[in-house]
Structure 1
Amino acid sequence: MRFFPRRSAASLSVLALLLSGSPLAARTGDAPATAKQIAPTGQAQVRPWLYENSDVPIDPAWRFGTLPNGLRYAVRRNGVPPGQVSMRLRVDAGSLMEQPDELGYAHFIEHLSMRGSRHVPDGESKRIWQRLGVTFGSDSNAATTPTGTTYALDLPQATPASLAESMKIIAGMMTDPNIVDSAVDAERAVVLAEKRESDGPQMRMSDASRLHFFAGQALADHAPIGTVATLTAATAAKVEAFHQRWYCPENTVIAIAGDIDPAQAEQLIKDHFGSWTVPGKGAPLPDFGTPNPKLPATRVVVEPGVPLGLTLAWLRPWTAHADTILYNQDKLTDMLALQIISRRLEQAARGGGSFLQAGVDQQDVSRSVDGTFMTIIPTGENWEKALADVRAVVEDAKAAPPSQAEIDREYAQMNTALSIQVENADTEPGAKQASDLVSAVDIRETTVSPDAAVDIFRAGKPAMTPEKILDSTRRLFSAGVFRALLVTGKIQPGLDAKLAAAVAAPVKAATNARLADKAVTMDDLPKLGPPGTVVSRTPVALQGMESITFSNGVKLTLFANDAETEKVRVNVRFGHGQQAFSPTKPVPSWAADYALAASGIGKLGQRELDDLTNGRRMGMDFNTDDDAFEMQVVTRPADYKDQLRLFATKLAVPGWDPAPLARVKTGAAVAYDAMSRSPDAVLGRDLNWLLHDKDVRFRTPSRAEIDGLTPQAFRATWEPILASGPIEVQIFGQVKAEEAIQAVAATFGALPARPDVPVPAANKAMRFPPMSKIRWSCDTRATRNRRPPSWPGRPPAASTCKKKGASSKS
C-alpha cells in the first residue's frame, strides 16, 4: 500500500529542498481518534490478482481481471474531470532488465513505440490523438524507470469511437511496434540528443549517487537513458530481441479510470489485447543484487556550481513482502519514527545551528534496496560539524524512546493527511487513480480506498508505543551496509580521508534535541477587537457569489458552494503587491516568502504555531502578486474560522523573530554562489530581470545585499506593508454563508481601519527592453579544468556567459 507520496531517495538536489517546508505548510486536519478493528476480508473469497498475497480490504471501486494470455487489468468509473478517460499501461521492462550491451534499450523502445506500429504509419498515431484533443506531454506521455515502462493516455471527451481508436493504437504499439532500421536510426538521434541535453550537474550527481549507493548492484550502472556506446550500436534486430523478451502479456498491466462504464472498458481491453501472444516464454526477472558491504563506504563528488551537501544511507536488501495489514501498520510506525527525528532536526536548523536543513526518510528503491536516507545541507563550509550534530540527534533517538507527546504530535499529522484523502475522494482525478494503481504494481504492493487506509492506520495506533518507536528507530539506523556521499563545488585535497574519518568518529547522543511538550491553543493568539459590522452586501458574477463590505473597509468575496467536499479555499489579498516597491530601489522582498510566515505572530514563534496547527488543515503561504500581497490556503469547514483568525492576527500583531531571516539569508547565499558557476544558472539568475528592462523588483539580490540585510531593515520594510493598504478576503467552498460572514467580521472586520498610500505611476509601469544581444560569462574558477560544453556548428566562445552589457542591436 502507498499511504503518502514520497520523494525519490538519495537525491542530492539539496537546494531544491531549501525551505521547502513552509513554516505552516499544508497542515492537515483533525479526525476522530478512535480506531475501528480491521478484519481480513473474505477468507473464502477469491481475491483479485492485486490482492492475492494480502489481507487488506479490496477496493470495491476497481474491477479486476486477467486475460487468458496473462495480461492483468483493473478498471473503474471516475467522472473527474467529466468526459475524460485515463489509461495507464505498465510493462515490466526497465533498465534493470537490460544486458550490458543493451543499456538504454527499454527507454529506446518507449520512444519507438510512441512513433506508432506496423498497423499505423510512422508518426500517424500522434496526429490521430491530436485530432481527438490529446496534448502530448500532458495528456499523452511515457516514462521508463529501472523497473518498468509506463505509457499514459488521458483522452478528453472520450467517445466509444475515440476510445476504440486509441486502444487499437496502443495495442499495436505494444504488440507490433515499428522496430525497423529506418525508425531506429531516426529515433537514435532523438535519444542521443536527450542524453546530451540532460548531461548537466544534476545528471552527473544522480549518476555519482547511483554508482556509490548501489555499488555492486545492477542499479548502479543501469540508468534508463543508456550509454552513447550502446545506443550507437543499437540495431533493429537487437532492439527487437529485447522487445520479444520483455514485452509480453504476462508482464503487462492496464489500469483505466474515467468517465466510462467499467464493463465497456473491460471489453475494450479484451477486444484489443486478447489476441496478443508471443512465441515462447518471457524471460525470468534478473537478480537485482543486494548491497555489498565490501565496497567503499564513502565518496566525495566535486561538481562545480552545486551547493555543499551530504547524503547518508543505511542500506538493507530489498525483499518482497506480503502486503498485509500488519506489514503496513509496521511501515507507518517506521514513518512516524522518522518524522519525529525529522522534526527534531528541523527545530535544530531553525535555531541557527550548523546545518541549514536535514531530513530523513525510508525508501524502497527500484526493488533493489530498502534504505534509510538522510540529507544534510550545512550552514557554511563546516560540513564535519553539521554531520556530527545530525548524527548526535540520531544517536539520541536510538538511545531512548520518544515521549508520548511526540508520538501524538506526529500521529495527529499523519492521521489528518489520510483523512483529507477521504474527504477529497470525490474530487480525485481518474488519471491519479490509474497512475497510483500501476505504481503499486511496480513496487509489488496493493492499493486501497482512502477509507480503508485511514482505518488501517488508526487500528495500528495501540501498537505505536514509545518502545515500538524505539525499536523501529534502531532498526532503521542499523544496517550491514552504510554509505555516505559528500557533494561539493570546490576541489579540496584530503576530502576523501576527512569524510571517512568523520563518519567513523564516535558520536555522543545530543542532550538538547527533544522537543519540549507544550500546549498551545487558539487562545494564545493575540486578541482582536470587537467584530466589525456589514455595511453592504450585494450579489456579483456567478449565482450565489456575494461581495460584502465591512465598516473598516475590508471586503469579502464569498462563494459558498458544495462543489468540492470538505474544501474551503481562503485567499487574503492586501496592500499593493509588487507595485508597492520602486522599480529602481532594491528592497528585501526576496526574503519575505519564508521569513514573514516563519517570524511568528505576537509572542508565538514558529514552533508554537506548528503545534497550534498540527493535526489541522491550516497553513500560511505568502506570496507577492503584481497588485497585492497574498496569504492563501486550502482548508476545511472545521478549520477555516481559525484559519481566518491566524491570518488576521498575522497582519495585526506580526512577530519579528530574527532566526527565520538568518536562515533564509544563509540559503540565499548558498543559492547565489551556485547560480554563479554555470551558464544555465547565470541565465536563470538574471534572465527575468533583463526581460523586465533591469527592473530591480525582478532581480536576484547580490551577495552583498544578502549578507547586508539586517532584521531591523527587514522589519522596517515589511511592518508598514502589513499594517496598511486595502484588504480583500476571498472564501470559496463548503461553508454556510452567514457563518462565513460572521467569521470574517470577528477577524478581519475587527481590525482597525487601515491607511493607504497611493501607488506612484512609475511603480505600475511594466517595462520591456529593446531587442538586443547580451553576453554573459560565468565564474570559471571552479570549472576551468572541465571541457566546456559544445554543440554542432557553435564555436566554443559562444558558451561563455557573464553579462557584459547590451551590444549589437538587431
Structure 2
Amino acid sequence: MIRKIMSSLLLCAFAAAASAQTPAIALDAAVRTGKLNNGFIYYIRHNETPKNRAQLYLVNKVGSILENDDQLGLAHFVEHMTFNGSRNFPKNSMMNYLQSAGVRFGADVNAYTGYDETVYQLPLPTDNKELMGKGLQMVHDWAQSATLDPAEIDKERGVILEEKRLGKGAADRLQQQYYPLLFNRSRYAARNPIGTDAILKNFKPAAIRQFYHDWYRPNLQALIIVGDVDAAAMEQQVKTLFADLKNPAAEKKRPAYTIPLTGKNQFIALTDQELTGTIAEVVIKHKAPAMATAADYKSLLIRQLFNSMLASRFAELSRRPAPAYLSASAGIKDFLGGLDTYRATVRVKPGELKKGFTAMWYETERLKALGFNADELERAKQNLKEQLENVYRERDKNPSENYVQEYLAHFLKNEAAPGIVGEYKLMNTFLPLIKLSDMKALTDNYLKDTNRDIIITAPADAQKQLPNQAEVNKWIADVKSMPVQPFGVQKLSSALLATEPVAGKVVGEEKDSAGLITTLTLSNGVKIIIKPTGFKNNQIVFRGFSAGGTSLYNDNDYPSAANAASIIAAAGVGNLNASELDRFVADKELEVRPFIAERYQGITGGSSVKDFEVAMSLVYAYLTQPQKDSSLYLSMMDRSRARYLNRANDPGSVYNDTVAAVLGNNNIRRTGPSIKKLNMVNLDRAYQIYKERFANAGNMTFVFTGSIDIAAAKPVLEKYLGALPRTVTPDQAKDLYIDIPAGEISKTVYKGTEAKASVLLVYSGRYDYTEGNNIFFDALRETLNIRLLETLREEESGVYSPRVELSTAKYPDAKFSLTIQFGCAPVNVDKLVAKAKAEVAALVNQGPEPANIAKWQAEWTRQRELDVNENSWWLNYLVDKVQTGDKPDGYLKEQALVQATTPAAVKMIAGKYLENGNFIKIILMPGQ
C-alpha cells in the first residue's frame, strides 16, 4: 500500500501557488466543492462512467514526513489500523461488511501512505442506499475515529513487518545508501514511509495515538466523491456528517517541508551482489514550476512536448545498429519536496559503462547545443493534439477515477483542475503558439551543470571497474568537447503497402439470438465477430487468431518460433522500416501487434474510429508484407544476451526459473530465458516461421468490439481482411504433452542475503471443463483466498498478502492448476504452509463457510456489472468462447450459476480435484 516516490512518472503535476501575473485557471464548474467551518474540504461530482458506482477518497495532507523520530513508520501504521477497528466498525467488522456487499479488500478498498500524504480509496455501488450511507460513515471513521486498540496494534505489527520484508533486496539496500544524497540530506532522507524494524516492533500505543491525534484533523483533509450520485443531495450529507470533526485544541503547525537546492554536484557508485546489470543515472534537480494559471498550462505543454520528442529520439537510437547501451531514456520528471528533475538513465553492457554513459550523455549535449528541429516539434504537437482530442471525444465517458485524480492533485498540490472541456480549450489556445524558442528556453533552464547527482549501481563483480567522480566528470567534459551533429529525423519516403490488396467480399452474415453479436464470413474464409458497444465514443479493439502457433515446431526451432513475432515486427512492415513506421503512426490513435503463442498465432490491437482503416491496413501489412532487418536482429540478440549474463545474481529470477522448470518438467518451452536459448534463435528461420504462420487466413477469426459501425466497417474489412491469403489445408495446434508433473514434489531454492522466503503451493491435474465447474472452482478459489487472509494474515500476522490463483484449460487436455503464493519470514515457512494446507483440507472435508460463499457471490456479481461495460472484457470473453468452442451467450447463464452455487458444490469440487495426490511445494530461502 506504500507508493514509492522514485517511480519514473512523466511530469504532470506541480505544487505551487497561482502566479500573480496571470489569472488562475478556474476549477471545473461541474464539481461541487466547499470548505466546512472546521476546514474540511470536499469535492463532489456526478459522473456515470461507470453507472451505479461512486469513488470515495479520503485525502490527508499527512505522511511520513510528519513523523517524530520515535514514530518512524507510524503514518503507514495508522493507515493499516483504520481498517482494524473504529467507533462504528469494531475490529474486522468493516471489512466483513464490505466483502458481504461485494467490495474487495486490496482490489477495491485500499489506501497508500507517501511522504506527504495518505490516501484512502473506497469504490461503492450507488444502487444500495444503506451501503452508501455506511460507506460515508467508514470514511468519517477513518478521518478521526480509529480505535487504535493495543491488541489490534500488536497483531498488525507482524503484517507490516511482512510488508516491509517483501520490499527488501538489492534495490532497497541501494536506496538506503543513495537516498540521503538524492534528497540532499533533507528530512525526506530519514522518513521512508515503511519505517524501521526497531520502531515497528517496539513502539508504544501512545506514540501512534499521538500521531493520529496531531495530524488526522479536518483542516488537513478532503473528501472526494465522484460517481453516479445526486451531487446536491450528497453535498448535504457530507456537510451534516463531517461537520463534527474537530481540530486539536493545541494544534501543531503542519510544516511545508522541502528539499533544498544546494548548487552542488554529487556522486555515488554502489554495488550489490544481487544486481544483474549496471545502471547510471544523472539527476539534475530543479524547483518545480506551478500549474495554476493559463501561462502555467502552456509551460506544462512545453514540458510534455519536450519529453515526447526526447523519448522519440531515444526510441530511434535504439533501432540503429549496435547501440552503445542496452537501453537509455531521459526527460523531465516529477519529484518531491518542491522539486522536479531532468533525469537521464542508461543501462549498459557489462564492462562498457564509459561507452554507454558517453553515448547517452551525448544526446543531452546535442540537445543543449542544437535543440530540437521544426519537424520533430510539429510531429510531437500532432501526437499530443490527437491524444488530447481523443480524451475530449470521450468526455462524456470519462471514468470517475480520472476525475478523482484531478481533484486529488488540486487538493494536495494546488494543481489546476479545469476539467476536460477547460483543458481542451487551453490546449487549442496554447499548443499552436509553442515554438522552437520555447523548447530552447526550457532546455537552457533544466539542463544545468549544477544541482546534478550521478548515481551508478552495478553487480558486485564490477566493483573494480567503477569510476570515481573525477572520472565521470572527465567523461562529461569530453562529451562537451565533441563535435555535435544534428539529429537525423527519419522521413516517410513511400506508402505503407508495397502492393495494394485485392478486396474480398462478405459472403455470409448472421446474428446471435439476442441480435447483439454479428458474424460475417468473407470470401477467403475469414470469420469476423462484431459486438458494437456504446461504452466508449471512439474506441475499437480487436484480435485475430488461428490455430497452430509454436506447437507446430520442434524443440530446436522453438526459440526462433517463440521470438519470431517480436523480431519481425520490430523491423518494420510493408514499405516502411521501423523508424518510418513510427513516424507513420505518430499522429494516429492505433496499436497493432502480431503474436505467435503456443497454440495460436494472430494479431491484436485497437484504434479510434477515424484511424480504423489505417489499423486494418497495418493488419494486412503485418500478415502479408513483413520485413526482416539483420542489423536490428543482431542488436536485439546482443542486448538480450547482455541482460541475461548476470541473471543468476537475482534471487527472484533464480526462483522463478526454478518454478518454471519444475512445473514444466524442464521442457525447453517452459524454462526461463537464457543465453543458450538466445543462441538457438535464427533470423532466417524466424522469418520463415512467421510467414508460414500467417500464410493461411482461411482459418482465421477476428473479433471486434467497441464503437464500430458494421455497415461502415464492411468495405474496410472486405478490402484488407478479405484480401488475406488462403491455403487449402487449415492447421491445428498439436498437443505437446507438457503437463505439471503428477505426485508430490518438494523443492527448496537457497538464494539471497535477506531473511525472506517465498512460498508456492500447487494443486493440479485433469479436469472436467464445464461452465458449472468453472464457476464452482472460482468460488473455491475466492473462499480459500478469504480464509488465508483471515488465518495467515489476521490470525498469524505471518504474511502481508497471500494470493490464490486458478487456471483452467479445455485444450489440448482439460486441466487445472490452483496455486497459493505468499512471502514470509524463513522461520515461519513450515508453520504457514501447514496452515494453508489445513485450509485446503477444510474445504475438502467441511466445505466453505456459507458466509464466504455469500461474499464471493456478491463480489462476483458486482465485478461482472462492471466487466460487461468494458470493451476489453468483451474482446477477451468472445475470443475465449471461440477458442473453447463454447457458445458466446454463456455469460447470460453465469449469473444464475453463481447464485445457485452452494457450499456443497464447492466441497464437491475440492474433494474431486484437490485430493488427487498432486501437490508441489517450491520454497525460496536465503542462501546457506
Same fold (TM over 0.5): yes
* Helix, strand or coil at the partner of 1:491: helix
Q: 1:755 to 1:511 in 2, by over 3 A?
A: farther
Quote the residue 2:764 is aligned against. none
Structure 1 distance, partners of 2:554, 2:513, is 34
- Aligned: 1:683 with 2:655: yes
Is the Cα contact below 8 Å between 2:601 and 2:693 reproduced in 1? no
Equivalent residue letter for 1:413: N
Is the Cα contact below 8 Å between 1:405 and 1:517 reproduced in 2? no
Greater length-normalized contact order (CA 8 Å, ≥ 6 residues apart):
1
Quote the residue 1:476 is aligned against. 446
* Helix, strand or coil at the partner of 1:155: strand
Equivalent residue letter for 2:827: G
Quote the residue 1:556 is aligned against. 528
Equivalent residue letter for 1:754: T
Equivalent residue letter for 1:387: F
Identity of aligned residues (%): 19
Equivalent residue letter for 1:793: V
Structure 2 distance, partners of 1:606, 1:752, is 24
Is the Cα contact below 8 Å between 2:546 and 2:700 reproduced in 1? yes
Structure 2 distance, partners of 1:336, 1:404, is 12
Within a 5 Å distance, the mapping from 1:145-544 to structure 2 comes to: 145-280=114-249, 281-294=251-264, 296-318=266-288, 321=290, 323-351=292-320, 352-478=322-448, 480-495=450-465, 497-498=467-468, 500-505=470-475, 506=477, 507-508=479-480, 511-512=484-485, 514-516=487-489, 518-519=491-492, 523-540=495-512, 542-544=514-516
Structure 1 distance, partners of 2:316, 2:111, is 40
Quote the residue 2:619 is aligned against. 647
Is the Cα contact below 8 Å between 2:547 and 2:733 reproduced in 1? no
Structure 2 distance, partners of 1:648, 1:542, is 32
Structure 1 distance, partners of 2:734, 2:343, is 52
Deviation digits for residues 82-124 of structure 1, max 9, x if unmatched? 2112101110111111222221111011011121213321111
TM-score (norm 2): 0.76
Structure 2 distance, partners of 1:231, 1:787, is 18
Equivalent residue letter for 1:384: K
**Match of residue 58, structure 1, among 10, 16, 27:** 27
Structure 2 distance, partners of 1:703, 1:604, is 31
TM-score (norm 1): 0.86
Deviation at 1:639, TM superposition (A): 0.4
Structure 1 distance, partners of 2:535, 2:719, is 26
Deviation at 1:484, TM superposition (A): 1.1
Q: 1:113 to 1:426 in 2, by over 3 A?
A: same
Within a 5 Å distance, the mapping from 1:716-727 to structure 2 comes to: 716-724=688-696, 726-727=699-700
Deviation digits for residues 688-732 of structure 1, max 9, x if unmatched? 443244443333243122134232232233221132352222222
Quote the residue 2:568 is aligned against. 596
Structure 1 distance, partners of 2:8, 2:539, is 35
Deviation digits for residues 727-786 of structure 1, max 9, x if unmatched? 2222222233222111111112123323545336434x56221133353656x7xx7xx5
Is the Cα contact below 8 Å between 1:674 and 1:681 reproduced in 2? no
Q: 1:471 to 1:250 in 2, by over 3 A?
A: same
Quote the residue 1:20 is aligned against. none
Is the Cα contact below 8 Å between 1:579 and 1:627 reproduced in 2? yes
Structure 2 distance, partners of 1:156, 1:579, is 45
Quote the residue 1:571 is aligned against. 543
Deviation at 1:244, TM superposition (A): 1.8
Equivalent residue letter for 1:682: V
Deviation at 1:577, TM superposition (A): 3.0
- Aligned: 1:744 with 2:714: no
Structure 1 distance, partners of 2:199, 2:623, is 61
Q: 1:716 to 1:111 in 2, by over 3 A?
A: same
**Match of residue 771, structure 1, among 743, 751, 757:** 743
Structure 1 distance, partners of 2:493, 2:26, is 38
Structure 2 distance, partners of 1:267, 1:626, is 57
Quote the residue 2:633 is aligned against. 661
- Aligned: 1:85 with 2:57: no
Structure 1 distance, partners of 2:634, 2:98, is 52
Deviation at 1:514, TM superposition (A): 1.1
* Greater mean alpha carbon deviation, residues 432-441 or residues 599-608: 432-441
Deviation digits for residues 632-672 of structure 1, max 9, x if unmatched? 22211110011101111111110112344334434433443
* Greater mean alpha carbon deviation, residues 261-270 or residues 720-729: 720-729
Equivalent residue letter for 1:617: E
Deviation at 1:461, TM superposition (A): 2.6
Deviation digits for residues 468-494 of structure 1, max 9, x if unmatched? 211211212115310111111233344
Structure 1 distance, partners of 2:540, 2:829, is 56
* Helix, strand or coil at the partner of 1:341: helix
Structure 2 distance, partners of 1:590, 1:293, is 51
Within a 5 Å distance, the mapping from 1:750-769 to structure 2 comes to: 750-756=723-729, 758-759=731-732, 761-763=734-736, 765=737, 767-769=739-741
**Match of residue 704, structure 2, among 690, 715, 731:** 731
Structure 2 distance, partners of 1:700, 1:192, is 31
Structure 1 distance, partners of 2:754, 2:182, is 27
- Aligned: 1:106 with 2:79: no
Aligned Cα root-mean-square deviation (Å): 3.1
Deviation at 1:374, TM superposition (A): 1.5
* Helix, strand or coil at the partner of 1:549: strand
Is the Cα contact below 8 Å between 1:413 and 1:616 reproduced in 2? yes
Q: 1:713 to 1:499 in 2, by over 3 A?
A: farther
Deviation digits for residues 424-481 of structure 1, max 9, x if unmatched? 2333322332234213422331222223223222322344211221121121211531
Q: 1:239 to 1:809 in 2, by over 3 A?
A: closer
Deviation digits for residues 103-153 of structure 1, max 9, x if unmatched? 111101101112121332111111121122211001100100111000000
* Helix, strand or coil at the partner of 2:345: strand
Q: 1:271 to 1:158 in 2, by over 3 A?
A: farther
Structure 1 distance, partners of 2:486, 2:564, is 28
Q: 1:633 to 1:424 in 2, by over 3 A?
A: farther
* Helix, strand or coil at the partner of 1:620: strand
**Match of residue 123, structure 1, among 88, 92, 95:** 92
Is the Cα contact below 8 Å between 1:78 and 1:430 reproduced in 2? yes
Is the Cα contact below 8 Å between 2:103 and 2:124 reproduced in 1? yes
Structure 2 distance, partners of 1:483, 1:467, is 27
Is the Cα contact below 8 Å between 2:325 and 2:349 reproduced in 1? yes
* Helix, strand or coil at the partner of 2:504: coil
* Helix, strand or coil at the partner of 2:462: coil
* Greater mean alpha carbon deviation, residues 162-171 or residues 670-679: 670-679
Q: 1:500 to 1:557 in 2, by over 3 A?
A: farther
Q: Any gaps of 5 or more consecutive residues in structure 2?
A: 11-16, 758-824, 833-917, 922-928
Structure 2 distance, partners of 1:364, 1:151, is 22
Equivalent residue letter for 1:152: Q
Q: 1:251 to 1:663 in 2, by over 3 A?
A: farther
Equivalent residue letter for 2:634: A
Deviation at 1:264, TM superposition (A): 2.3
Equivalent residue letter for 2:613: K
Equivalent residue letter for 2:28: D
Q: 1:541 to 1:313 in 2, by over 3 A?
A: farther
* Greater mean alpha carbon deviation, residues 689-698 or residues 744-753: 689-698
Is the Cα contact below 8 Å between 2:38 and 2:245 reproduced in 1? yes
Structure 2 distance, partners of 1:223, 1:115, is 23
Quote the residue 2:601 is aligned against. 629
Q: Any gaps of 5 or more consecutive residues in structure 1?
A: 1-6, 18-48, 799-806
Deviation at 1:602, TM superposition (A): 3.0
Deviation digits for residues 165-200 of structure 1, max 9, x if unmatched? 121122122212112322322222221121122212
Structure 1 distance, partners of 2:256, 2:672, is 50
Deviation at 1:410, TM superposition (A): 0.9
